[in-house]
């Protein structure tokens, strides 16, 4: 297929770099007018890669991204993090601090299009065809975990970048297992091998021991003379060596077959061959086709064609059961190793059509997009015997009118264009001016424009096809996690027919906020503007929460950490121009009841919103046992676990043998349905749990049981969802108040799982500080290397342990033979990991203290474990502090 490039004036990034619009002529045409004119952008799903860059902070994500953009011809010069000239870090706060705060999406082609600067080399295969790469650069700081989570939700593959000196760090493990939750295929890039102390072989074994995956070493570092500086790479797949010139921009490099290398590099040549043998062996254990190729080559590992090795490696990467991850190497800051990494992205990571099918729920039936489109889910829904399913029995013709299904995964406020909603299209194609129905909010909104984003810049397009990522400006209501569908002939007000009207893709989980701070307007006249700005802020970042203290009337902003709140306030004041001040950062505590209550009946009979509302229900509350099993639900039974509490709803069914009243036929008022009643009661219970009786903190470890008998508690048209929700809230509140006043409440604080990485010399001081000064419990002391086990993490404990002795890792240029075998350092700079459980209150401001204890070398990452009751002297101290505010 001939490639076509339409000439147009290049766009400009905020840093002044030329951004070349991207074009590839294939079978599916999408016209996109740029600011200079029209540009035909044509993409094919099989030649698209939606990938993300994930890593610990300071591993070199943005630096690597800048090289990718430069070598693809997307920019004319390489941006620098320290200079604030990068394309993807375009926020003022990002450039001022030198860290990534929000994920940035950008598109380019690899290999470069013929009309772009094609002087850069692609090393794997001469027949590579340009692929459209949608890349998302994610933050590495632990406080911005949600930003990583919502990016992972829509990605098809990921590149995990490791620091060649620090290795597998705590935050790396965290994002690795988060990506595993979505079954995202991954490759690893070991960066910064030009730095002193870089140890590629040691990191390979860390990958096996700490990430619980089999490393498939595809490249080995080339150390000059075997012991000196990093000068290039040995390609175990293609059996060649790649050497970069010192101080160049990295576009050109020498590629030499192993049999052409000089005799002085005999050791390096042998290591490349050894890596190839190990690579074939591990692939043979997971891929039958590689076994056949091995036998066809007369059991000669080196005789297998590189194309066959790539094909086998790709099958293993895409298959989640293989548990294999390819390992690549480089030094991005020195412009070494990025082009081979881009080749690997194109050749090994899946296209949208090969990625795991997104999950969804249709009429209570779990399934996938593919199953929905071929009618399988409709058949399952039709076959259901429940009254609700029969009432909403769908027709297979409904699917034929479903034009597009997409997930909104990010919302950004732009001062010029308003709200920009980032979407990933999973089925069909969203076209300009199409009407989008939000299945979560049950409203329709038009899509007046469609954009393709290049970090902070964009071009207009006519459609966003399946498998692509795009932006819809001007949507007033869409939020992160909303499902958007386009349906032919749908009523703009009522939306498509059931059950498509409630079609939700798997939502994006929002982690709980654990820090909060008050936000005070400078004056009463600024209060409305501050509130509007806060609404924009939390629409952008749902991991932020805004609440109002009922007693003090203060507005409270909650977030994931101190740095998270600091950035949020900075954006509020600097970007959104809100005139407000931030109070002291505080900790979010919880409250828990101690004894069960008696059943409390509440009958609501009052006017609500200009209409008479009548409803009633019975509420009982009790402490939630940690080992309590999920109750078995019969017809009209419903149980949900949310925010640390369980809500169980029982609606008396017509066939309930325990009922003493006259039987009924199961018919409800036409404006009510069982799911609608259950949702209203659940919302009422959640509202009651939002504030405790004795300490005014949110309830935790509480079980609310709501019982509704339609014969006694529903009063015809006077009973609406709002009335049911109010009745449930007031009944549950009365039950909570009765038991809290009689038996008291417990104060609970959040305990964190903390992993601290320090050098050997600082280990004793840090351990003593955690266990003595901060009231923490040390769980384990591990080497941050091959001898260490997994950190204390429920996810890692479920994964199989890798036998390190069976893992191939090339030798590192420094250290004795014993250290090479063990993969550890021998001096006081050896990294150690401390795993502990520490109350969150004691971790406020801990980073500064840790740096003072370790001379600036210590780092830590923490995640919420659970809320635990505060007892003894600590309870008295905390209560005294809280009552003093």
Which residues line the annotated binding site? Answer: 55-62, 137-141, 191-194
Q: Beta strand pairing status for 831-839 and 745-759?
A: antiparallel
Classified as helix, coil or strand, 591 is strand
CB-count exposure of residue 630 (10 Å: 0-12, 13-18, 19+): exposed
Between CA 462 and CA 464 the distance in angstroms is: 7
Assign 3-state DSSP to the chain and report helix, strand, coil percentages, each to 5: 30, 30, 40
What are the DSSP calls for 351-401, one per residue?
PTTTSPPPEEEETTEEEEHHHHHTTHHHHHHHT--SHHHHHT---THHHHT
Encoding tokens for residue 776? 């923490």
**What are φ and ψ of residue 256, in 5° steps?**
-130, 125
Per the CB < 8 A criterion, the answer to whether 15 and 33 are in contact is no
Buried b (16+ CB within 10 A) or exposed e, 329-362: bbbbbbbbbbbbbbbbbbbbbbbbeebeebebbb
CB-count exposure of residue 161 (10 Å: 0-12, 13-18, 19+): buried
What are the DSSP calls for 11-25, one per residue?
EE-TTS-EEPPP---
Give residue for tokens 């939002």. Answer: 690
Torsion of Cα atoms, 720 then 725 then 728 then 732, to 10°: -170
Chain centroid to Cα 44, Å, comes to 26
Alpha helices in 285-367 (DSSP H): 288-296, 306-318, 338-348
Between CA 554 and CA 372 the distance in angstroms is: 47
Q: Choose among 693, 703, 692, 709: nearest CA to 642.
A: 703
Q: Choose among 42, 112, 180, 181: nearest CA to 346.
A: 112
Between CA 561 and CA 553 the distance in angstroms is: 23
Question: Which are the contacts of 285, defined by CB distance < 8 A and separation ≥ 6?
Answer: none
Q: Choose among 878, 831, 821: nearest CA to 857.
A: 831
Between CA 851 and CA 429 the distance in angstroms is: 51
Annotated binding residues for GTP: 55-62, 137-141, 191-194
Handedness of CA 580, 581, 587, 592 (dihedral sign): negative
Buried b (16+ CB within 10 A) or exposed e, 517-529: bbbebeeeeeeee
Angle, in degrees to the nearest 10, between helices 306-318 and 266-284: 50
Torsion of Cα atoms, 557 then 559 then 561 then 566, to 10°: -50
Between CA 203 and CA 160 the distance in angstroms is: 13
Encoding tokens for residue 226? 């075997």
Question: Which are the contacts of 607, defined by CB distance < 8 A and separation ≥ 6?
Answer: 613
Give residue for tokens 């129905």. Answer: 437
| CB-CB neighbours of 645 under 10 Å | 22
Question: Which are the contacts of 204, defined by CB distance < 8 A and separation ≥ 6?
Answer: 190, 215, 217, 327, 807, 808, 809, 810
Q: Residue 741 to residues 253, 736, 744, 788: CA-CA distances in angstroms? A: 76, 8, 6, 50
Between CA 52 and CA 150 the distance in angstroms is: 11
């Amino acid at each position: 297929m001939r490639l076509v490039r339409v000439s147009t004036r290049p766009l400009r990034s905020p840093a002044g770099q030329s951004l070349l619009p991207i074009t590839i002529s294939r079978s599916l045409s999408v016209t996109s007018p740029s600011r200079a004119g029209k540009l035909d952008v044509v993409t094919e799903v099989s030649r698209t890669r939606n990938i993300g860059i994930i890593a610990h902070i300071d591993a070199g994500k943005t630096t690597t991204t800048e090289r990718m953009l430069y070598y693809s011809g997307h920019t004319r010069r390489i941006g620098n993090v320290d200079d604030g000239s990068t394309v993807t870090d375009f926020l003022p706060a990002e450039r001022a601090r030198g860290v990534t705060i929000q994920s940035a999406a950008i598109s380019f082609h690899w290999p470069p299009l013929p009309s772009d600067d094609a002087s850069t080399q692609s090393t794997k295969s001469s027949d590579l065809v340009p692929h459209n790469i949608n890349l998302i650069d994610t933050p590495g700081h632990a406080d911005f975990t949600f930003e990583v989570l919502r990016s992972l939700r829509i990605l098809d593959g990921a590149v995990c970048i490791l620091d060649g000196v620090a290795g597998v760090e705590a935050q790396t493990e965290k994002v690795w297992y988060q990506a595993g939750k979505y079954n995202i295929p991954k490759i690893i890039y070991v960066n910064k091998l030009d730095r002193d102390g870089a140890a590629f072989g040691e990191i390979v074994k860390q990958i096996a021991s700490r990430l619980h995956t089999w490393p498939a070493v595809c490249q080995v570092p080339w150390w000059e003379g075997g012991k000196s500086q990093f000068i290039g790479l040995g390609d175990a797949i293609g059996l060649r060596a790649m050497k970069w010139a010192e101080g160049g921009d990295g576009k050109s490099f020498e590629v030499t077959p192993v049999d052409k290398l000089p005799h002085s590099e005999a050791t390096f040549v042998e290591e490349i061959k050894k890596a190839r043998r190990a690579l074939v062996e591990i692939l043979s254990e997971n891929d039958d086709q590689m076994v056949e190729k091995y036998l066809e080559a007369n059991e000669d590992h080196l005789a297998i064609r590189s194309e066959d090795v790539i094909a086998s490696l790709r099958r293993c990467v895409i298959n989640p059961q293989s548990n294999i991850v390819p390992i690549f190497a480089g030094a991005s800051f020195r412009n070494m190793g990025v082009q081979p990494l881009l080749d690997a992205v194109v050749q090994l990571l899946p296209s949208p059509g090969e990625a795991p099918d997104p999950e969804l729920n249709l009429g209570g039936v779990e399934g996938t997009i593919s199953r929905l489109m071929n009618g399988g889910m409709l058949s399952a829904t039709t076959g259901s015997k429940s009254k609700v399913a029969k009432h909403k029995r769908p027709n297979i013709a409904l699917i034929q009118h479903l034009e597009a299904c997409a997930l909104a995964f990010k919302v950004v406020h732009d001062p010029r264009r308003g709200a920009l909603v980032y979407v990933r299209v999973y089925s069909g194609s969203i076209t300009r001016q199409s009407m989008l129905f939000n299945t979560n909010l049950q409203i329709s909104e038009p899509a007046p424009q469609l954009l393709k984003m290049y970090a902070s810049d964009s071009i207009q397009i006519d459609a966003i096809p399946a498998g692509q990522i795009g932006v819809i400006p001007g949507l007033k209501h869409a939020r992160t996690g909303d499902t958007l569908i386009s349906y032919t002939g749908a009523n703009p007000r009522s939306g498509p027919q059931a059950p498509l009207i409630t079609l939700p893709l798997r939502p994006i989980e929002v982690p709980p906020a654990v820090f909060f701070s008050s936000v005070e307007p400078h004056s009463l006249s600024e209060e409305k503007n501050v509130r509007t700005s806060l609404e924009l802020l939390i629409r952008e970042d749902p991991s932020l929460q805004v609440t109002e203290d009922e007693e003090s009337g203060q507005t409270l902003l909650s977030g994931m950490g101190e740095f998270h709140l600091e950035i949020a306030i900075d954006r509020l004041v600097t970007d959104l121009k809100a005139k407000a001040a931030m109070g002291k950062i505080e900790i979010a505590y919880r409250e828990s009841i101690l004894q069960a209550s008696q059943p409390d009946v509440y009958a609501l009979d009052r006017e609500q919103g200009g209409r008479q509302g009548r409803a009633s229900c019975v509420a009982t509350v009790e402490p939630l046992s940690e080992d309590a099993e999920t109750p078995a639900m019969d017809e009209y039974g419903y149980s949900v676990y949310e925010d640390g509490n369980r809500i169980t709803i029982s609606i008396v069914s017509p066939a309930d043998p325990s009922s003493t009243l006259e039987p009924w036929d199961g018919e409800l008022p036409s404006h009510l349905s069982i799911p609608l009643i259950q949702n209203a009661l659940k919302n009422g219970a959640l509202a009651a749990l939002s504030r405790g009786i004795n300490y005014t903190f949110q309830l935790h470890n509480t079980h609310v049981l709501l019982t509704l008998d339609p014969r006694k508690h529903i009063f015809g048209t006077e009973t609406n969802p709002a009335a049911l929700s109010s009745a449930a809230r007031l009944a549950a509140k009365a039950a909570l108040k009765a038991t809290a006043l009689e038996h008291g409440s417990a104060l609970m604080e959040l305990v964190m799982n903390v992993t601290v990485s320090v050098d050997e010399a600082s280990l004793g001081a840090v351990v003593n500080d955690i266990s003595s000064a901060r009231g923490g419990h040390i769980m384990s002391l591990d080497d941050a290397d091959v001898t260490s086990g997994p950190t204390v993490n429920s996810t890692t404990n479920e994964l199989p342990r890798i036998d390190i002795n069976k893992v191939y890792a090339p030798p590192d240029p420094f250290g004795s033979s014993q250290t090479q075998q063990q993969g550890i350092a021998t001096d006081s700079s050896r990294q150690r990991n401390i795993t502990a459980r520490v109350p969150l209150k004691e971790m406020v401001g801990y980073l500064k203290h840790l740096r003072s204890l370790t001379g600036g070398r210590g780092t830590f990452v923490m995640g919420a474990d659970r809320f635990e009751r505060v007892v003894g002297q600590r309870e008295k101290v905390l209560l005294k502090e809280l009552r003093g505010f």
